[in-house]
A and B are shown apart, each in its own frame.
Chain A
Amino acid sequence: MPMHDDDDQFEIYLRQFRPREPEPLPLVMRARHVRRALALGAWAAAIVLTAALLATKTRWTAGLSHYSANTAPQTRDFHPLTIRAADQLLAHAPSLKAAMDELALDSEQKALPKSQSAFSLLNKEDVNP
């Protein structure tokens, strides 16, 4: 019967079937792409950062040398005043006025001449009638 022939042929056809190796799932592929993109991005960022650091360091060094050239007296250590430091100042200054002068000068440039400071001007000025 022709029907049998068809069945046989169909069966032969089916036997020829070989499953193909499945492609990776879309999610896995996306993750792989993302990883690759991240790696590339990291490299690019590293290169840009290194370049920026090199450029900044050059400018910063130049700025520091400019600063120290112009404000040399201010480069000494500055410590905010504490009660202890104030008491020590008070204990060791020869007079209260000397302690005040020292306190004002301490935050500023000790190296500068103090021949006629605002304080000395205040003291010299004849404020009484």
Chain B
Amino acid sequence: MNTIRSIAVILVFAGLFVSPMTGQSGPQKLLAENAALRYWSAFAQMQDSAMMSHQIPGLDDPSVKELFNKNQAALNTMYRGTLLPDCNWGIDYQLGTNAPVEYVRKALLLGNLNALYVMYLEAHGDTQGAVRALVAGLRFSHDVANGGTLFATLVADHLLMDHVPLIPNIVHAGVSPAQRLALQEALAQLGPAGLDWQGAVKRELGLYRGTDHGLSAQGLAALEQITPLFVRAMSDPSVLPQLQRMIANAPLDLRNLMPNPQRVVEAEQSLENHLAEARSLLQ
């Protein structure tokens, strides 16, 4: 009996000591592979991001070079994050519209800084660096929309539209086969539409059902009819006039909340067109 007890104690202690050394598993592993956490680290490393929203004299100005130098660590951390397979921002939808999404603002700043950095590298003949920053920027922009509402998707769209048009410049300046392939793969990973617009619309309109919006019964009833049509408009813009009529006839409380579907569809189509152009150029 004592022997069995001793063996059990030894096994328990061995388990305690060995398990942390055998590598991460389960939820810990998932956390370690969550790109969003790396991106948050990058946001924390950002310096002088105020410069992004005020005077920048030009790409050759020493202050711009200093801005890139100061943010090199942040950009590198972001690049490492883009190599991870998953990105979950962990939005607390239980808080309804009070859920914090500050990461969207930070991502906009970091993404814009990266697009500027791609231009800077390309202008200074560092094609390899420009391709690397561009590939990472495309992935990062795409990740910004993950699991978020329509607003996060529109910010991701804005960032992609900052990065995708830079591809022709770099390609025409001359890229190696490996660099071309890297760009092709980066675009392929985005998918045909670039972003999950339908999912974003569903999450956005789903929030309007919450009590914190205080929609009237008529507003809620109208929302039930509008939601499927809005989602459909993301893949079939021909339903847009019908959708707009429904929104125009909806109760005022719902109308005040509803995003303009025309704008959203236009943003989606513009991104899709730019992606198609860039893909054909890289063929």
Q: Which residues of A contact B169 (CB under 8 A)?
A: 127-129
* Contact A90:B151 (CB < 8 A) given known A114-B54, A127-B165, A129-B169: yes
**A 93-122 to B, binary, CB cutoff 8 A, 1 in contact else 0:** 001110111011111110011111111011
Instruction: Tally inter-chain residue pairs, CB-CB below 8 A.
Output: 127
List the A side residues contacting B50 at CB < 8 Å. Answer: 108-109, 112
Chain A contact surface mostly? helix
Which of B20-28, B101-109, B188-196 forms contacts with chain A?
B101-109
Whether, in the assembled complex, B112 has its beta carbon less than 8 Å from a beta carbon of chain A, the answer is: yes
Interface pair A99/B165, CB less than 8 Å apart:
no
B246 contacts partner chain A, Cβ-Cβ < 8 Å: no
Partner-binding segment picked from A17-25, A30-38, A75-83 = A75-83
The answer on a CB contact under 8 Å between B53 and A119 is yes
A122, B162: Cβ atoms closer than 8 Å = yes
Contacts of B206-250 to chain A: CB distance below 8 A = 207, 212
- Are A104 and B54 neighbours in the complex by a CB distance under 8 Å? no
Residues of B100-141 contacting chain A, CB below 8 A: 100-102, 104-105, 108-109, 112-113, 115-116, 119
Task: Say yes or no: B259 contacts A118, CB within 8 Å.
Answer: no
**B280 contacts A by Cβ under 8 Å:** no
Determine the residue in chain B with the shortest Cβ distance to A74. Answer: B50
B53 touches which of A82, A84, A108 (Cβ 8 Å): A108
- B263 interface hit (Cβ, 8 Å): yes
Q: Does A46 contact B (CB under 8 A)?
A: no
Q: Please determine whether B166 and A114 come into contact, CB atoms closer than 8 angstroms.
A: no
Contact A117-B55, Cβ < 8 Å, known A91-B257, A129-B169: yes
Which residues does chain A contribute within 8 Å of B90, judged by CB atoms?
Answer: none
Contact A108–B259 (Cβ < 8 Å): no
B154 within 8 A of A: yes
* B-to-A contact residues, CB < 8 Å: 49-59, 91, 96-102, 104-105, 108-109, 112-113, 115-116, 119, 149-152, 154-155, 158, 162, 165-166, 168-169, 172, 204, 207, 212, 256-257, 259, 263, 267
Q: List 8 A-B contacts (CB under 8 A).
A: A86-B101, A90-B150, A90-B154, A117-B55, A118-B113, A121-B56, A128-B165, A128-B169
Question: Known pairs A83-B99, A83-B207, A119-B52. 18 more at Cβ < 8 A?
Answer: A83-B151, A84-B98, A84-B212, A90-B150, A90-B151, A103-B104, A103-B155, A104-B53, A108-B50, A108-B52, A109-B50, A109-B54, A113-B54, A114-B54, A117-B53, A119-B53, A122-B162, A127-B168
